[in-house]
Amino acid sequence: MNRLGSLALGVWSALAYGLLYAPVVVTVLFSFNAPRGRFNLVWQGFTLENWRHPLRDAALTEAFFTSLGLAVAAALLAVLLGGLMALALGRARVRGSRSIELLLALPLTNPEIVLATALLNLFVGIDLPRGPLTLLLSHSLFCLSYAALILKARLAGFDPTLELAAQDLGAPPLAAFRRVTLPLLAPGILAATLLCFSLSFDDYVVSSFTAGEIVTLPLYLAGAFQREISPQIQVLSTLVLLVSAALLVLATPSRQSRS
């Protein structure tokens, strides 16, 4: 029975992973396709032409770099503000901290369409034109809860006496934080940054309400799919996949460093 159960679990795991990664494999495969029409949906033949000039589609490339810059800025701002919130909730005895934590987790349970309409009403109410600023504020806002909760969880396992010991040895509070606390928080900061970057990079719902005339990559793809599906879309998607995989490998500690 144990052998049969292990076999069934292995088969089920293989099916689950196959279903999970099948779209990724198809995307990478079709980046080498040579379509005969405007829609890269049917395999016509292998070619490397798509990879010789991966950024030849000017509109797609502009939308790609717009999303890339927005995701980096939103992730950094969300991690900065979320880190300050996590430090305040984790160290200071704030009255009503349980209610604050509940309010912090509440945006995670709301549908994106609710947040998008609320932000649109806010920006219209304060007469703030939709554009780069509203996009940055919106993306930072829905990433803020993720960053704060991740860093708060990291702080939960932190021994505050280490920082106090550094101060007892003569280190100023800022130097003790920079040399003791910050390196210990680095894995949480990296995890929060990568998660916020991913959430911002592929957001469509909030961006469609707050972007104005700015075109991000998800907005461009949503409009372009009505006209064509260019192989360059798969090429850029594969590049993002490779960069994400490389960052994940670099962020994962090796077995020797863990030991």
Model confidence at 211: pLDDT above 70? yes
Handedness of CA 86, 90, 93, 94 (dihedral sign): positive
Model confidence at 20: pLDDT above 60? yes
Model confidence at 219: pLDDT above 70? yes
Mean pLDDT computed over 43-47: 88
Note the pLDDT tens digit of each residue in 68-118.
999 999 999 999 999 888 888 777 666 766 777 788 888 888 888 998 999
For the chain, the average pLDDT equals 85
Mean pLDDT computed over 45-55: 87
Band of pLDDT at residue 254, cut at 50, 70 and 90: low
Q: Which pLDDT score, from 0 to 100, does residue 256 have?
A: 47
Q: Which pLDDT score, from 0 to 100, does residue 96 have?
A: 66
CB 200 within 8 A of CB 117: no
Handedness of CA 20, 55, 40, 216 (dihedral sign): positive
State percent of the chain over pLDDT 70.
94
β-partners of residue 46 are 33
Q: Which pLDDT score, from 0 to 100, does residue 165 have?
A: 81
Q: Which pLDDT score, from 0 to 100, does residue 221 have?
A: 86
Look at the block and give the residue holding tokens 């609710």. 114
What are the domain boundaries of the chain? 59-229
Instruction: Name the pTM for this structure.
Output: 0.81
Listed range (6-10, 35-39, 163-167) with the worst mean pLDDT: 163-167
Cα angle value 64/65/66 (rounded, 5°): 90
Listed range (70-79, 143-152, 169-178, 185-194) with the worst mean pLDDT: 169-178
Q: Is 59-229 in CATH node 1.10.3720.10? A: yes
Q: What is the token pair recorded at 135?
A: 């996009």
Mean pLDDT computed over 186-200: 88
Q: Which pLDDT score, from 0 to 100, does residue 251 have?
A: 65
Q: What is the token pair recorded at 104?
A: 């912090």
Model confidence at 162: pLDDT above 80? no
Q: Which pLDDT score, from 0 to 100, does residue 36 have?
A: 83
Model confidence at 250: pLDDT above 90? no
